[in-house]
Amino acid sequence: MKQKIAFALIMGSITTGIISFTLISINIGFVPQFLVIWLRSWAMSYTVVIPCILLIGPKVQSLVNMLFSEKVLAEKE
């Protein structure tokens, strides 16, 4: 469980940072307050994404496991 939480924290940090930086730079450009706006946006998105990763992640993993299970792959061949 500790590994799942660590994964969620690290992955959430990286992905929300990249996405928020990209979208803010596209939408408003590098204005004087860019850093403040970006950090506020990053913090808000981070607080939303961590619970999502922890709650939705296991369901997505189950779906991926099902889609790529040996049985399903054998049936498609």
Q: Are residues 8 and 53 in contact, defined by beta-carbon separation less than 8 angstroms?
A: yes
The DSSP 8-state label assigned to residue 19 in this structure reads H
Contacts of 45 (CB under 8 A, 6+ apart): 16, 19, 20
Q: pLDDT truncated to tens, each residue of the chain (77 aa)?
A: 788 888 888 989 999 999 999 999 999 999 999 999 999 999 999 999 989 888 998 899 899 888 888 665 566 65
Using alpha carbons, select from 14, 17, 15, 22 the residue that is nearest to residue 40.
Answer: 17
Q: Are residues 45 and 20 in contact, defined by beta-carbon separation less than 8 angstroms?
A: yes
The model carries a pTM of: 0.71
What are the pLDDT digits (tens) for 56-72?
A: 988 998 998 888 886 65
The domain spans of the chain are: 2-76
